[in-house]
Amino acid sequence: MKTLENIVSIQIPAKDFELARKKLQEVQKILHPYLITLTPEERKVIPKMSNRSVPFVEKVSDYAKTNPELGPAYLDVEELEIDLQSVRCLSQLTQQVQTIRSSLGDTAMLAGSEAYVASLAYYNSVKGASKLNIAGAKSIYDDLKTTL
């Protein structure tokens, strides 16, 4: 009889899960005063700095500090530097979080896939047993097919 390949076979101990959850809450609490939540409309309409525009913004910041007379009177060069430093810090945190998020998502996806494939194998076996009128199979099959 063929067995299903099982790549993910992890059980995170409750104490480790709880510790990780608490640490994530701590990070969220620490950063909360500094973070902003944009609406979908705001995300859509604001000009966005990308990896390609970072060198431009860095050069502008340098030039604006050394040649402030060339900028518009309303430009706050100190605020530009604060924003640029914020981007640098937040980008580092974002990269770390994205790495964790990606691994969490991949692991959950694979574990879910394995659980789903195993469930389909059981379902198909029960379906076959139901067609053969094996005792108890029909009621299980009827119940399962309503959720599939």
Distance, CA of 55 to CA of 63 (rounded, Å): 12
Distance, CA of 84 to CA of 43 (rounded, Å): 19
Q: What is the pTM of this model?
A: 0.76
The domain spans of the chain are 14-145
The confidence score (pLDDT) of residue 8 equals 87
Distance, CA of 145 to CA of 148 (rounded, Å): 5
- Which residue numbers in the chain have pLDDT < 50? none
The confidence score (pLDDT) of residue 109 equals 95
Decide if 125 contacts 134 (C-beta within 8 A).
Answer: no
The two tokens of residue 131 are: 């067609």
How is the chain classified by DSSP, letter by letter? -PPPP--------HHHHHHHHHHHHHHHHHHGGG-----HHHHHHS----TTTHHHHHHHHHHHHH-GGGS-TT--HHHHHHHHHHHHHHHHHHHHHHHHHHHHHHHHHHHHHHHHHHHHHHHHHHHHHHHTT-TTHHHHHHHHHTT-
